[in-house]
Structure 1
Amino acid sequence: MPVVTDQVPRPPSESDTRTVPLDAVAATSSRLGLSVKETPASVEILTQEALRERGSRVLREAIEQSTGFTASAIPNVTSTVSVRGFINNSVNVLYDGIGLPHNSTAARYTDLGNLERIEFLRGPASVLYGDGSVGATINLVSRYPTWVPKADAEYAFSSFNSHRVHAGVGGPILDNAAAIRFDASVNNFGSSVKLTRSQLEQYNGSILIPLGQDLALTLSAEKQIDDIKNAYWGTPFVNGQLAGFLRNVNYNNLTDARMGSDSDWLRANLVWTPTKEWEIRNIAYRYSAYRHWHNVENFAYNAGSNPPTVTRRWFGDLDHDHDVLGDRIQARHIGDIAGFANRFVVGAETSTVSWKSARNGFPGSQVVDAFNPPAVPFSAGTSILRTPARDVSLDSWAIFAEDQLSLTQQLKVLVGGRFDYFEGNWHYIDQGGIRRQQTYREPSYRAALLYDITPLTTVYASYTTASEGGDSLYFLGPQQTQLGLTDARQTEVGLKQDIFGRGEFTFAAYHIVKKNLFVPDPANPTERIPVGQQSSKGVEGTLGYRLNEQWKFDANAALVHARLDDFTEGNPPLSRAGNIPQFVPKYVVNIGVRYSPFVSWEFGAWLRHVDSVFIDNANTQKLPAYTTVDVSAVYKYSRNVEFTARIRNLTDALYATWSAPTQAYIAEPRTFEISARAKF
């Protein structure tokens, strides 16, 4: 069995329900093996048990319950996220610490049953993961083999004839010569929107093979499939308002509407611990995915029509063929320098990406009855089908380093740096075969101080730089490929407090400035120039408190002041300077309470409030604020078997989590769920 250095904190166990486990390691926020308390950043962890306790089933639900986040399940980007004043391309989703460069569409519907935990790092993380993480980084950590036999199974039935099944098993095999873990999740769920039906399948398998007393190899494979029939693309606004009376109508009710994704992960993680001080780690990986759309996606209510009608347009037929091959190697040392405790890590990584897309340009439109749109084939809207449109390749390498030096027992300084080099090649097949090439060289760094005021209280201050594309690099137009990346700077101060072993409290205040945003060129509005600027500043707090064996409280809140400092759009260009960016709420609040009057019973409630958001940079249209309440009751039949009843959106609130200019993605109404779980 491989040696694990005692000096390095362990990740939280799956049964740990603390949101901010100060004594546990958070691998997402540093490669130094630091605990959450030792990390000069805003970190949050949701273990498998915490996810179950809160009732999170898919990635979006887990994101929404974390500090300052909002999320929406738009079909083509199923984890659309806003945090710290930034959205989409500014939030990076990792899989076991590995990012998929430059492409937010790779973040799919993800059932959470196969995960050990989710780690959230708010603020820029380019020093760790390269470009594309100015707002936050979300790391999905799979369940891996252990030397203790474990098995669990769960079944849930919920509204709209929805079913969810998960089963997992793991432990030693072949007389302890190796350990394995296998998890399977199948989630088939309906919707209040007519005809919409989704099936998610996810299969994870891994094997841990000790190759000696200090060397271990873990091989893992993952397959993920999502298949959506008649995907819900939104409900048209009526007189600029959410149309509750159209909430259940599906305008993508094509007889051949389809949408799906099939992806595969292969990973090989080799860990060598030659001494107590040194750890050498290499991870090689391959990701392959095929995603496809065949839908009508845009809807506008026709004011004054009698009977009421809706124009549906954008009959889109397209696909993505996406492949990534990469490797990362790092060496970590834990020891001292001239008698001062010190940790450092140095490493390098490389990846090559191929991304191809065929599309039809989204032609066609139809005027249909607002309440009963006809079920017709795709060909009724357009006869144009997808043809090869774009072929993109991105080759990159990076070097990185981090160091934490303890100047005294209370005072620590942390510095880190990274240099990214990548070369992009674009072939615009549908634009006359235009080819473009660009080379990017992007340094980033962070510096921080931590001070333990007492053994229970730590304060910190940090400064971080980051970069990202003005959009996903795969979607840039020919002229945009010649522009530089967007630069960002963050200053953050914070506090982490252990409440005498009964709870944890964290607080952070930050200021982020993002420069070189792409805006229209005043001399040629169809082209872009990188001169815009956006900023945000805010405060965040997270609290977990266990009053006694019966009562437990969780709460988090975020207040953000975000602005477009220098931004123009339109033709001719109009200034939006001083306006609030799209889909950025001023504040988000979550409050959770759990009460266990008896050993076998537990009752819970989760309240969430999200402020209103503008849906355009002109700040003329808004989605209203909303409040939701979820409640649950758990009966623990035995130590290993329990049953749960849950009601989501108890008050049946009408609200939307995202929108396009003419339509909104209205969330589900009140729903129920009953489930049974067994673990061995």
Structure 2
Amino acid sequence: MKHHRFKPATLALAVMGALSALGAQAAHAEDAKELPTISVSGERQKSTIPLDLPAATGSRLGTTIREIPASVDVISQELMQERGDRTMIEAVGKVTGMTGGRVGGSHVAFSARGFIENGVTWLYNGVRVPGSSNFSSRVLDTANYDRIEVLRGPAAVLNGEGGTGATINLISRAPSFDKQPFELDYAFSSYNSHRLHAGMGGAIKEDAVAYRADISTNRFGSNVHGERTELDRFTGSLLFKLSNTLKLTLELDRLHDDVEDLYYGTPLVNGRISKSLRRINYNNLTDNKYKSDTTWLRANLEWQVAPDVEVHNQAYYYDSFRDWRDVDDFTYIAGATPKVRRNTWADLDHDHQLVGNRLDALFKGTLAGMDNRFVVGTDINRTDFKTKRNGFPAGTEAPVDAYNPPSVSLSSGTSVFKTLARDVTIEQWSIFAEDQLSLTSKLKLVGGFRHDNFKTNWTYFDQAGAPKESKAHTFNSWRAGVVYDLMPDTTVYASYATAVEPGGSLVILNRNQSQLDLTTAKQFELGVKQGFWGGKGEWTAAAYDIEKRNVFVPDPARPTNRLAVGQQSSRGLELTLGLRPTRQWQLDGNIAYVHARYDDYSAGNPPVSFNGNQPRFVPRWLANLGVQYKPVEALTLGAWARHVDKAYINDANTLQLPSYTTLDLSADYTYSKTTQVGFRIRNATDALYAESAYGSTQVLIANPRTYELSLRMRF
């Protein structure tokens, strides 16, 4: 069993806020107003654009989505079930302007508003894992989530560095004193795939202790030879009502994944996708590894200090060990007997811990006679990261048969195995504030400010003498906006926001890259949010202009190094629509256009200008359209169409992922109050397309047409 280093001093910092709040409560709780009890009965709001619900991913002020001067999406658990979203890749991929998927050893990656990598940030119940946006991302089952919230546009004022394009917040199911049904879900699908979820919750002791527990397990294959994935996850939480004004929630989240013969992609043939190679797996080592074990611990304290004062404290601990062994770089060699050269024989792991605490207070009152909401808080955390790696050497193996690659051990391609390479720490603290001032009942001013300070220390054990490097960053982020209610159901807004991003993944930057400055960004956004037709429809629109300076991109020749790009910018328009004209019909759709480009970028010797080129993995057009029809109350028929424009996979814009359109079909039948059965056809037209690329010579081809039969039971 693996044991990780744990520093008592760091832990003390993490829980200090929780202990101080508990101590203060003992003296003052009896004078405060009783915490409000929120009861949820029946089904949650069915709208796919819940404008009148709050979303903490967009603001900590507790305001509704309508009042936030930004683009915010909420994907509820019910909505994910309706759409048949099995993983968060499928769920987030339906959000306006979002595209991406699994990207080999980089786990999961999305693009949003023209930006990738650190431009899209992941949160786990509001907590960001510092160091790299993609390091903590995995293929995760949707069953354990209450909802997924997505904020499009910069979020540095809320979460610190990163997230210029979007922030994705995965929020687990929570305990409640209300009775919750026992849930049992099972699905069988193509490639001998099985998916099972069981969950339940409710009161342990009425008005004192409640719980929620969910367990999900997946065993699924793919179109690619030999690839087989295991996903196992448990999420459990306990809610303690310590008094009428104080609640404490303790959470445990355990995740395990293990993939046999992970698919890293199919080599391009003359720059094109080859249908004849789509099932071949070149990463078929006999000692192949791709797995991780992750634990999250969280303690959330909610204290109603006074009728208009709320204090929230979250202490958190994250521990993850990720392990790889693979060959992952493939080049096609034409000839009478086509060959493939397998390069980059990798052996590495990540030993990754994070401990921290966030404390904030919300004040509701008046300022100069005007309604005002104000939040102030602080966040302190420490990241510890070690990695063993072999430097990813080029292989000694001769080119192999393109259609019958032999299964060999890693030692057949290289004699170099992993040793300790980096020991990295990131110590970070921040203070933040948000405010909403209602100048009139219709006009509101919204602002936010955040000051961050973090220091990264590297020890490079893979270099002679194990040299050390250190870099400190201090920066301010802010957001200002105005929200105006044209009519009771129609709101317009304008906002300006700033952001920063690290030049690359901080925890694995090479020594000569460790002193990179931060990338800076700014965004202007205009938008409208409206409900219409007596509550039967909602639509939103947003236009934005983003500019990033001091940008860095991976060096194609040495991907662990970064190349400086003077400036990158994007402009775009996003439209989202939800419509329920009758009980029988429901329509959901969105469309996004982005014009992203490099403004100042030259590379090579002699230098070649890439000015005006489109950044990698950024399609100009994205569109989704979902339709549901109920011919009778018990039967729901559905269709979901998705179009993704072409995207380039290199900065020179000479290689591309072709555009594609997919269609998913579904039928769900409610057999009784407790039982529902469903049938789905994904990629019904059997489209051949690649959802992403790994490097510049290979793409990850999506599954062809697949089928699924499911059973849902509620007791």
- When normalised by structure 1's length, the TM-score is 0.97
User: What secondary structure, in the 3-state scheme, does the structure 2 residue paired with 1:431 have?
Assistant: coil
- Cα distance, 1:301 vs structure 2: 0.7
Structure 2 letter corresponding to 1:106 = S
Matched position secondary structure for 1:371: coil
* Aligned AA (1:555): G
Q: CA deviation at 1:176?
A: 3.9
Q: Residue 353 of structure 1 aligns with which residue?
A: 383
Q: Secondary structure at the match of 1:345?
A: strand
Unaligned runs of 5+ residues in structure 1 are none
79, 85, 103: which one pairs with 1:74? Answer: 103
Asked whether the 8 Å contact 1:612–1:625 carries over to 2, the reply is yes
Q: Which one of the candidate residues 423, 426, 437 is aligned to 1:405?
A: 437
**Alignment deviations for residues 600-647 of structure 1 (CA, whole Å, 9 cap, x no partner):** 100000000000011111111111100000000000011231001000
Taking the aligned partners of 2:171 and 2:45, their CA distance within structure 1 comes to 15
Q: In structure 2, how many angstroms separate the alpha carbons of the residues matched to 1:265 and 1:416?
A: 29
Is the CA contact (8 Å cut-off) linking 2:122 and 2:167 kept in structure 1? yes
- Asked if residue 233 in structure 1 is aligned to residue 268 in structure 2, the reply is no
State the distance in 1 between where 2:193 and 2:710 align: 12
In 2, distance between residues paired with 1:452 and 1:435? Answer: 55
- Residues 1:526 and 1:211: Cα distance change in structure 2 (over 3 Å): closer
Tell me the SS of whatever aligns to 2:138. coil
Match of 1:416 in 2: 448
How far the C-alpha of 1:365 sits from its partner, in A, is 4.3
Structure-2 residue corresponding to 1:555: 589
Deviation at 1:569, TM superposition (A): 2.4
Q: Structure 1 residues 530 and 14 mapped into 2: Cα distance closer, same or farther (>3 Å)?
A: farther
Q: Relative to structure 1, is the Cα distance of residues 526 and 136 closer, same or farther in structure 2, using a 3 angstrom cutoff?
A: closer
Partner residue, 2:472: 439
Match of 2:628 in 1: 594
Shift of 1:19: 2.0
State the alpha-carbon separation in 1 of the partners of residues 599 and 96 from structure 2. Answer: 25
The answer to whether the aligner puts 1:662 opposite 2:697 as a matched pair is: yes
Q: Is structure 2 residue 51 aligned with structure 1 residue 51?
A: no
Per-residue deviation, residues 331-354 of structure 1 (Å, max 9, x unmatched):
001121122111000000100001
Query: Corresponding residue for 2:408?
Result: 376
Amino acid aligned to 2:596: A
1:671 and 2:700 aligned: no
* SS of corresponding position for 1:217: strand
Shift of 1:255: 1.2
2 CA distance for matches of 1:410 and 1:571? 58
1:520 and 1:568 in contact (8 A); partners too? no
Give the aligned partner of residue 483 of structure 1.
516
Is 2:29 the counterpart of 1:29? no
Amino acid at match of 1:562: A
Q: CA deviation at 1:376?
A: 1.4
Q: Indicate yes or no: 2:176 matched with 1:146.
A: yes
Cα deviation, residue 10, structure 1:
10
Matches for 1:251-266 after TM superposition, within 5 Å: 251-266=282-297
CA distance in 2, matches of 1:268, 1:639: 36
Aligned pairs for 1:432-581 within 5 A: 432=464, 433-499=466-532, 500-518=534-552, 532-581=566-615
Q: Secondary structure at the match of 2:282?
A: coil
Which residue of 1 is the match for residue 113 of structure 2? 84
Q: Residue 183 of structure 2 contacts residue 198 of structure 2 at CA under 8 Å; is this kept in 1?
A: yes
Gaps of 5+ in 2: 1-28
Structure 1 position 497, deviation (Å): 0.3
Is contact 1:23-1:35 (8 Å) kept? yes
- How far does residue 113 in structure 1 lie from its aligned partner after superposition? 0.2
C-alpha distance in 1 between matches for 2:210 and 2:632: 38
State the distance in 2 between where 1:152 and 1:11 align: 17
Any conservation in 1 of the 2:207–2:241 contact (CA below 8 Å)? Answer: no
Q: 1:651: which partner in 2?
A: 685
Which residue is 2:9 aligned to? none
Instruction: List per-residue Cα deviations over 1:165-218 (Å, max 9, x = no partner).
Output: 001010000344200000000011001101000000110010000110000100
- Give the 3 Å change call, closer, same or farther, for CA 461–11 of structure 1 in structure 2: farther
What letter corresponds to residue 285 of structure 1 in structure 2? Y
Structure 2 distance, partners of 1:537, 1:12, is 42
Does the residue aligned with 1:37 lie in a helix, a strand or coil? helix
Q: Distance in 2 between matches of 1:202 and 1:520?
A: 33
Measured after TM superposition, the shift of residue 76 of structure 1 is: 2.1
Structure 2-normalised TM-score?
A: 0.92
SS at match of 1:51: helix
Corresponding residue of 2:167: 137
**Equivalent residues of 2:345, 2:414 under 8 A apart:** yes
SS in 1 for 2:305: coil
| Worse-matched range after superposition: 251-260 or 552-561 | 251-260
Corresponding residue number in structure 1 for 2:243: 212
**Alpha carbons of structure 1 residues 575 and 37: separation in structure 2 relative to 1, 3 Å:** same
| More divergent stretch after superposition (365-374 vs 181-190) | 365-374
Instruction: Indicate how the Cα distance of structure 1 residues 479 and 672 shifts in structure 2: closer, same or farther if over 3 A, else same.
Output: same
The aligned residue for residue 311 of structure 2 is 280
- Comparing 560-569 and 127-136, the one that deviates more: 560-569
CA RMSD of aligned residues (A): 1.9
Q: Contact conserved, 2:509 with 2:560, CA < 8 A, in 1?
A: no
Which residue of structure 2 aligns with residue 608 of structure 1?
Answer: 642
Residue 621 in structure 1 maps to residue 666 in structure 2: no
Instruction: Report the secondary structure of 1:653's partner residue.
Output: coil
State whether structure 2 residue 279 is matched by structure 1 residue 248.
yes
Tell me if structure 1 keeps the 8 A contact 2:495–2:524.
yes
* Residue-by-residue CA offset, 1:412-469 (whole Å, 9 max, x unaligned): 0001100000001011111221211011001000000000000010000000000001
Q: How many pairs were matched up?
A: 674
Report SS of the residue matched to 2:392.
coil
Structure 1 pair 13–476 and aligned structure 2 pair: CA distance change class (3 A): farther
Measured at CA, do residues 669 and 14 of structure 1 come closer, stay the same or move farther in structure 2, by a change above 3 Å? farther
1:382-436 deviation line (CA, Å, top 9, x unaligned): 1211001111100000000000000000000001100000001011111221211
Quote how far apart the aligned CAs of 1:483 are: 2.1
The answer on whether the counterparts of 1:280 and 1:332 sit within 8 Å (CA) in structure 2 is: yes
Paired residue type of 2:704: P
Which of the numbers 190, 195, 207 marks the counterpart of 2:221? 190
Deviation at 1:18, TM superposition (A): 2.0
Equivalent residue for 1:634?
Answer: 668
Q: Counterpart amino acid of 1:467?
A: V
